[in-house]
Amino acid sequence: MKKEIKTLIFNKLFLYKVFMRYKNINALFYRKKNTYEIKDIIVCGVQRSGSTLLFNIINEVLNEQKNSVDSFFEEELKYKKILANELSTLVKKNHTYLPMVARRVRSGKSIGFFTHRDIRDVIVSSIQKGWLSDINEWVTNLRIRYMINNSILYATTPNMHIFSYDKLMNYRTEVISEIADVLNIPLSEEAIQRISAKTSIDVTRNKLKEIPSDVKLEYSDQLHKNHIADGVIGKWRNFLSEEEINFLTVYCQDYLSFFRYKS
C-alpha cells in the first residue's frame, strides 16, 4: 500500500474502521458465528495503558469464583443453569482493534473490558521501555495514530466496560467491585481487599524479579521482565520537552478530548 493512501486512511477514523473490517474479513466466521456459546472475556487497550493490570485483576476475580461456585450437577436444569452463566476462565488480551472482537462485545457474546491512559504517558512509558527513541519516527510511521484509532474505536464499542489507568492505580478496590458486578460474581469485602493486595504494584514488582531474564512473557499473567517502569501518572510533564509537549497536545487532540485528558 502506498504511503500516501495509508496516511489518509490512518488519519480518518471512519476509513481506518472500514480498512480494518476489510483486512479482517472472514467468511467462515459469518457462517459459524452462532456456534460460540460460552461468553469469553477480552481485555482491550494499547500497550502501556494498564491492560496487563486489568487482565490480572479479572483473573483474580475469576479465581474467587472458581473457589466458591459449585459446578457439580445431577439434573439437566442445573446443567442448563451452569451453561447459561458460564464464563471462559481463559481471559484474553488484545492491543489492536479487531472488528470480530467489537462484534462479539456488541452482541454480548464476549465481555469486553477496555483501559485507557493519557497517550503522552503511554509514549513516555514506551520511551522508558526502549521501544521508542524518536517521537518523530512514530509520527512518520503512524504508530501514534494507530494507537489513537484503536483506542477510540474500542471505547465507542457498545457494551464495552471502560476503565482509566488512573482508576486502576488509585481506586483499585472500586474497580474490583465493578468487575465482579459485570461478571456476576459476588465478592466479600475481604476478597476485594485480598485481590487488591495481590495486584498491587509492589507485589507485581516482586513477581517481575522472579522471572528469568531469558523468558519473554509469562502467559499466565502477561508479565515480562521489566514490565513496569514506574507507574507514575502525568510523568510526560517532566519528561518531554516543551516542543514535544506542544506538538503531541495538538497531534493527539482527538484522543485527549475524547478521553478528557487536560492539555
CA atoms of 55 and 239, how far apart (whole Å): 28
Res. 68 pLDDT band, cuts 50 70 90? low
Pinpoint the alpha helices (H) of 11-118: 13-23, 27-32, 51-66, 76-85, 99-107
Res. 213 pLDDT band, cuts 50 70 90? low
Give the tens place of pLDDT for each residue, 223-237: 444 545 567 889 999
At 146 the pLDDT is 95
Mean pLDDT of all residues in the chain? 83
At 182 the pLDDT is 94
What percent of the chain shows pLDDT beyond 70?
Answer: 81
**Could you tell me the pTM of the whole model?**
0.79
Give the tens place of pLDDT for each residue, 75-115: 777 777 777 767 777 899 999 999 999 999 999 889 999 99
Buried b (16+ CB within 10 A) or exposed e, 173-191: eebbbebbebbebebeeeb
At 209 the pLDDT is 45
Classify domain 3-258 at the CATH superfamily level.
P-loop containing nucleotide triphosphate hydrolases (3.40.50.300)
Most trustworthy range by pLDDT among 37-41, 80-84, 203-207, 235-239:
235-239
Res. 64 pLDDT band, cuts 50 70 90? confident
Query: How many Cβ atoms sit within 10 Å of the Cβ of residue 127?
Result: 18
Helix, strand or coil, per DSSP, at residue 170: helix
Give the tens place of pLDDT for each residue, 117-131: 999 999 999 888 888
Q: Can you state the angle between helices 189-198 and 51-66, rounded to 10 degrees?
A: 140
Task: State yes or no: pLDDT of 196 exceeds 50.
Answer: yes
Query: How many Cβ atoms sit within 10 Å of the Cβ of residue 126?
Result: 21
CA atoms of 84 and 167, how far apart (whole Å): 31
List the domain boundaries for the chain.
3-258
In terms of Cα–Cα distance, which of 236, 232, 256, 254 is closest to 244? 236
